[in-house]
């Protein structure tokens, strides 16, 4: 039995289970696929290799990227109109060269309705807006800025609006209650959940149709017939070092994979059945350098003392561009007015201090006239409210001229650059797994991080894109599978 | 008939041709695979979709990366010892995060013997050394620097030596006579060459063994039985826009694909038969900015006026890092002592001039104190023979302080940034196509740019790596196939 090759249906004597739709993986994508399958009247079995629901979704903040159609209740209450065109334009810019334009357009159009659907499933939203720059809400607010919407160049491409809609939940970690509520809903609809059940192969008939899945339960292979299809919701491959080496080797520059058993098995099974895997080199990374918030005012330089980004972008975009810099670290420069002890988990250390930027430069062993010149130029323009190089905007753009000064070190190996993979199976807007010629692999569907989808490009990632993708395109896959 | 799916052997009523080894593609890789197959006693048929031999190899300079084992005749005559360890270390550094270490080690060990083999096939080498920085030899010299060996950081990783061994041939374009000689040799050994013959599908039996290939000849599908195996030598996918969009979308930033019908068909056929395609996002690019040679002394800045690389690296590495910069262009800065009219084909224009660097900065609409500060810093250190930021070395490191000054524009769309793809089938050191689990696909072999191999990483490319890979690993594949 190999993940990489489908098991021939002709070799199966008897099926152990029969259902209409077999969903593999019980994160947000799998839960939403199961719910929609059940709502459409299909029998649904959901197999999860862990001992309960969760996946990487439960490790997240429970934030979903939503907007367009004039704006959600929360957006409008906070004074933000949000057009579908602006939302689509932002999604495409965030997808960069990897953008799936059809998915961006569809999701921008359907996002508001999807928000309504999430509420119908029981997800609570307080509906209020939390201003400022946060990684996850500090209270139970439910709307926040979660990407680079207000930052250059995105602000010139689409009218900015906050679109991070977070489940009402006090503090970090809204992903867990989000998945719990989706699980309750799925169970209430009659979805049969089997945990500690690891999918080990797809079953394919002679016409290449996926007709079932082999699931290992209690150390025995069980044959599951899925009359209408199999939906892979198995997550990315951040915990599969061999796959990372083959497809995404830049991630070895950083050291903190995040996920929940994301070993790429669904991608491998999908490819084995004829699916195409795309943009496999893409990954998201972030280091929580905007905690505490005043540090968001800082300036980043690389080891040559050069700035490389407008630091008012989303922390994940800044971190991703940081990892592109030559060498093994970057520095976050702050003055006393904006320095506070970094979050301990971030693993950010103090690399140099000084009464002047020249002193900091010396402490970092940089040549005279590098970092100090960068800061003199930055401060002179920031005082005028301008950033001619990278177009950072006030109020985050502010002179850093109140000594003493500090250089924090974000070290790619020793600081907490968490990361996960973004590449995966190529799918249609309906969640069908597509082959190399662009045709659906009959009977096979996928959603979430085992696909390449809305969050396609590491440099354009925004919080909430992955859960938006999991929940919306999970639903699409479940519905399409139910149609048979 | 689909490129993406093997044709079942059971569906074939009668074979039109029977051979031991079917080689697909008549560039350098295919020629060398065919020669070795024939030398090992196998019957070999070689199918080429074009009307003659050539492929991308014939468009090249005919330069092959060779060294190690104490040095070639040409290296030793020029005073360069070259150890196998240094060669292997350089190859691994040049492969960066994508390096296939086993291939690097093997090729470093066997490179000198491979040089002998090439000579035995009739490739002439004058054996002399051409100093300086050239894209291809200006005369019939046969040894030159072809990579970043002498530049930081490579010079600290491996003792530098020139390793670009060029077929003796006056001027550019040694690739064509190189392939012609290999073709003569293949034909002399009895290889049956069929041109205007396009492979449209592999033939696979029920045990997943590749047993033949379907070739379209005179608009008819012909079934070719290959008792020992099929060797794919079909090139990369630079001319397949759909594949580039799925796997290598960054290439849309630049505009000049180079190759010869490199449509990725061999990669698709290999993947369809169960092969794994890796590092598909990687590409080589170069803009001939070191022509004429004095321009190699220039300084590159991005649109923020920042340097980004030691400009004494290989022109392809500099060009690749240039394309990483934000925006749509970079500038090459020169003083009157080092300026000469750029090569017309390069599409490099003059974007600004001035009696001072400040005037150039103004002409480029850059903020005061950006480009001019970069050049003041550079010149002050260059005068001392130092480049504290990027470690460029004398004599290429020299002050650019003799006005008037000029900024040349290398525009990613309008200048000649030629490019080709580097990702492809994963193969063993013996040229076996490997599946997702790392096991060989029985009967299937590949070499050249339809594989990911020695030239694995765009940022570390060196001239001669691709032909080294084609010729050496083409031989490996042909030999392994002949063993059955």
Instruction: Specify the higher pLDDT residue, B143 or B1.
Output: B143
> Region B27-49: what's the mean pLDDT?
98
Is the CB of A105 inside 8 Å of chain B's CB atoms? no
Confidence band, pLDDT 50/70/90 cuts, at residue B410: very high
Contact A250 B97 (CB under 8 A): yes
> pLDDT tens for residues B216-257?
999 999 999 999 999 999 999 999 999 999 999 999 999 999
CA A427 to centroid of chain Cα atoms? 17
Closest to A439 in 3D by CA, of B272, B244, B444, B278: B272
Task: Identify the helix (H) or strand (E) that includes residue A88.
Answer: helix A84-95
Residue B144: phi and psi, rounded to 5, are -155, 165
Is the CB of A246 inside 8 Å of chain B's CB atoms? yes
CA B270 to centroid of chain Cα atoms? 21
So what's the pLDDT on residue A3? 78
Closest CA in chain A for residue B391: A304
CA B426 to centroid of chain Cα atoms? 17
So what's the pLDDT on residue B172? 87
So what's the pLDDT on residue A484? 79
Considering CB atoms only, which of A249, A367, A436 is closest to B98? A249
User: Which residue, among A3, A209, A246, would best test binding to B if mutated, counting the most B CBs under 10 Å from its CB?
Assistant: A246
> Region A190-211: what's the mean pLDDT?
97
Residues in a beta bridge with A286: A418
Task: Enumerate the residues of chain B whose CB falls inside 8 A of the CB of residue A390.
Answer: 304
Confidence band, pLDDT 50/70/90 cuts, at residue B360: very high
> CA of A272, closest CA in chain B: separation in Å?
7
Q: How many CB atoms lie within 10 A of CB B403?
A: 16
d(CA A206, CA A224): 17
Confidence band, pLDDT 50/70/90 cuts, at residue A295: very high
So what's the pLDDT on residue A49? 96
> pLDDT tens for residues A201-239?
999 999 999 999 999 999 999 999 999 999 999 999 999
> Region A363-371: what's the mean pLDDT?
97
Task: Enumerate the residues of chain B whose CB falls inside 8 A of the CB of residue A436.
Answer: 3-4, 268, 271-272
Are residues A446 and A427 in contact, defined by beta-carbon separation less than 8 angstroms? yes
Confidence band, pLDDT 50/70/90 cuts, at residue B121: very high
So what's the pLDDT on residue B317? 98
Confidence band, pLDDT 50/70/90 cuts, at residue A171: confident
* Structure ipTM: 0.95
* Dihedral sign, Cα of residue B241, residue B425, residue B135, residue B302: positive
Is the CB of A324 inside 8 Å of chain B's CB atoms? yes
So what's the pLDDT on residue B171? 84
Contact B373 A370 (CB under 8 A): no
> Region B39-60: what's the mean pLDDT?
97
> Region A270-282: what's the mean pLDDT?
97
Is the CB of A353 inside 8 Å of chain B's CB atoms? no
DSSP B17-66: EEEEEEEE--SHHHHHHHHHHHHTT--EEEE-SSSSS-TGGGGS--EEE-
Are residues B411 and B347 in contact, defined by beta-carbon separation less than 8 angstroms? yes
Closest to B325 in 3D by CA, of B407, B249, B399, B254: B254
User: Strand, helix or coil at B371?
Assistant: helix
Closest to B292 in 3D by CA, of B350, B343, B351: B343
> CA of B420, closest CA in chain A: separation in Å?
17
What DSSP state is assigned to residue A451?
Answer: B
Is the CB of B7 inside 8 Å of chain A's CB atoms? no
Hey, which residues 384-413 in chain B have their CB within 8 Å of chain A? 388-390
Task: Enumerate the residues of chain A whose CB falls inside 8 A of the CB of residue B252.
Answer: 97
Q: How many CB atoms lie within 10 A of CB B170?
A: 11
> pLDDT tens for residues A412-460?
999 999 999 999 999 999 999 999 999 999 999 999 999 999 999 999 9
CA B435 to centroid of chain Cα atoms? 24
Contact A253 B381 (CB under 8 A): no
Considering CB atoms only, which of B252, B304, B389 is closest to A370? B389
Confidence band, pLDDT 50/70/90 cuts, at residue B269: very high
Considering CB atoms only, which of A2, A97, A435 is closest to B437? A2
Task: Enumerate the residues of chain B whose CB falls inside 8 A of the CB of residue A274.
Answer: 4-5, 272
Contact B252 A370 (CB under 8 A): no
Confidence band, pLDDT 50/70/90 cuts, at residue B2: confident
Structure tokens at B50: 């074009």
So what's the pLDDT on residue B262? 96
| Mean model confidence pLDDT for chain A | 97
User: Which residue, among A310, A328, A436, would best test binding to B if mutated, counting the most B CBs under 10 Å from its CB?
Assistant: A436
Task: Please name each of the domains of chain A with its CATH number.
Answer: 1-285+419-484 (3.50.50.60), 288-411 (3.90.700.10)
Task: Enumerate the residues of chain B whose CB falls inside 8 A of the CB of residue A2.
Answer: 437
Residues 6+ apart with CB under 8 A from B330: B300, B301, B302, B303, B308, B322, B410
Confidence band, pLDDT 50/70/90 cuts, at residue A136: confident
Contact A370 B390 (CB under 8 A): no
Task: Enumerate the residues of chain B whose CB falls inside 8 A of the CB of residue A268.
Answer: 436
Task: Enumerate the residues of chain A whose CB falls inside 8 A of the CB of residue B97.
Answer: 249-250, 252-253
Are residues B335 and B360 in contact, defined by beta-carbon separation less than 8 angstroms? no
So what's the pLDDT on residue A265? 97
Task: Enumerate the residues of chain A whose CB falls inside 8 A of the CB of residue B389.
Answer: 304-305, 367, 370
Cα of first residue to Cα of last residue in chain B, in angstroms, is 27
d(CA A484, CA A430): 12
Residues 6+ apart with CB under 8 A from A420: A56, A236, A238, A257, A258, A259, A262, A283, A284, A449
Considering CB atoms only, which of A98, A377, A390 is closest to B249? A98
Structure tokens at A356: 């002047």
Structure tokens at A165: 């809609």
> CA of B339, closest CA in chain A: separation in Å?
27
Is the CB of B278 inside 8 Å of chain A's CB atoms? yes
So what's the pLDDT on residue B137? 86
Contact A367 B373 (CB under 8 A): no
Task: Enumerate the residues of chain B whose CB falls inside 8 A of the CB of residue A305.
Answer: 389
Query: b or e along A459-479 (b: 16 or more beta carbons within 10 Å of the residue's beta carbon)?
Result: bbbbbbbbbbbbbbbbbbbbb
What DSSP state is assigned to residue A399?
Answer: -
Contact A247 B278 (CB under 8 A): yes
Contact B304 A381 (CB under 8 A): no
> pLDDT tens for residues B423-454?
999 999 999 999 999 999 999 999 999 999 99
So what's the pLDDT on residue A342? 92
> Region A257-268: what's the mean pLDDT?
96
Confidence band, pLDDT 50/70/90 cuts, at residue B133: confident
Contact A246 B370 (CB under 8 A): no
Confidence band, pLDDT 50/70/90 cuts, at residue A133: confident
Confidence band, pLDDT 50/70/90 cuts, at residue A353: very high
Task: Enumerate the residues of chain B whose CB falls inside 8 A of the CB of residue A381.
Answer: 367
Is the CB of B77 inside 8 Å of chain A's CB atoms? no
Question: Nearest-5° angle of CA A472, CA A135, CA A98?
Answer: 50
> pLDDT tens for residues B164-213?
999 999 988 999 999 999 999 999 999 999 999 999 999 999 999 999 99
Structure tokens at B217: 């000849």
3-state helix, strand, coil in chain B (%, to 5): 35, 20, 45
Closest CA in chain A for residue B282: A281
d(CA B412, CA B415): 6
Contact A249 B97 (CB under 8 A): yes
Contact A279 B97 (CB under 8 A): no
What share of chain B has pLDDT > 90, as a percent?
Answer: 95
d(CA B94, CA B98): 9
So what's the pLDDT on residue A2? 76
* Dihedral sign, Cα of residue B391, residue B396, residue B401, residue B406: negative
Is the CB of A279 inside 8 Å of chain B's CB atoms? yes
> Region A175-201: what's the mean pLDDT?
98
> Region A178-185: what's the mean pLDDT?
98
Contact A97 B389 (CB under 8 A): no
* Dihedral sign, Cα of residue A471, residue A474, residue A480, residue A481: negative
């Amino acid at each position: 039995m190999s993940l990489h090759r489908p098991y021939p249906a002709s070799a199966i004597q008897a099926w152990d289970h029969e259902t209409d739709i077999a969903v593999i993986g019980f994160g947000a994508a799998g839960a939403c696929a199961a719910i929609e399958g059940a709502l459409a009247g299909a029998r649904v079995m959901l197999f999860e290799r862990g001992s309960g629901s969760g996946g990487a979704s439960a490790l997240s903040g429970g934030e979903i990227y939503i907007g367009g159609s004039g704006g959600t209740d929360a957006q409008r209450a906070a004074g933000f109109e949000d057009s579908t065109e602006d939302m689509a334009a932002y999604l495409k810019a965030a997808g960069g060269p990897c953008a799936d334009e059809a998915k961006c357009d569809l999701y921008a159009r359907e996002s508001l309705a999807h928000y309504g659907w999430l509420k119908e499933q029981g997800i609570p939203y307080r509906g209020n807006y939390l201003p400022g720059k946060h990684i996850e809400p500090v209270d139970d607010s439910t709307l926040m800025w979660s990407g680079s919407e207000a930052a250059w160049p995105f602000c010139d491409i689409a009218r900015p609006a906050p679109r991070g809609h977070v489940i009402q939940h006090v503090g970090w970690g809204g992903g867990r209650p989000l998945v719990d509520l989706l699980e309750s809903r799925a169970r209430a609809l009659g979805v049969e959940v089997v945990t500690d059940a690891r999918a080990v192969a797809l079953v394919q008939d002679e016409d290449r149709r996926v007709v079932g899945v082999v699931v290992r339960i209690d150390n025995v292979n069980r044959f599951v017939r899925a009359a209408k299809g199999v939906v892979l919701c198995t997550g990315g491959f951040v915990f599969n070092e061999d796959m990372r080496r083959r497809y995404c080797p830049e991630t070895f520059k950083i050291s903190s994979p995040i996920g929940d058993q994301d070993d790429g098995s669904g991608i491998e099974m999908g490819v084995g059945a004829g699916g195409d895997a795309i943009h496999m080199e893409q990954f998201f990374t972030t280091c929580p350098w905007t905690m505490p918030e005043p540090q968001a005012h800082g300036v980043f330089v690389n080891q040559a003392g050069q700035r490389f980004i407008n630091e008012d972008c989303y922390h994940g975009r800044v971190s991703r561009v940081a990892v592109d810099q030559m060498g093994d670290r970057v520095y976050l420069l702050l003055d006393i007015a904006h320095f506070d002890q970094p979050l301990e988990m971030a693993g950010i250390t103090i690399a140099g201090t000084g009464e002047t930027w020249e002193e900091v430069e010396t402490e970092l062993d940089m040549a005279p006239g590098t970092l100090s010149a960068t800061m003199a130029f930055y401060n002179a323009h920031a005082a005028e409210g301008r950033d001619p190089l990278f177009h950072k905007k006030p109020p985050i753009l502010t002179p850093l001229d109140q000594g003493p000064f500090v250089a924090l070190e974000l070290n790619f190996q020793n600081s907490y650059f968490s990361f996960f993979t973004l590449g995966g199976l190529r799918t249609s807007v309906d969640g069908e797994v597509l082959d190399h010629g662009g045709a659906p692999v009959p009977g096979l569907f996928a959603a979430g991080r085992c696909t390449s989808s809305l969050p396609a490009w590491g440099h354009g990632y925004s919080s909430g894109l992955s859960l938006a993708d999991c929940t919306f395109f999970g639903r699409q896959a479940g519905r399409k599978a139910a149609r048979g």
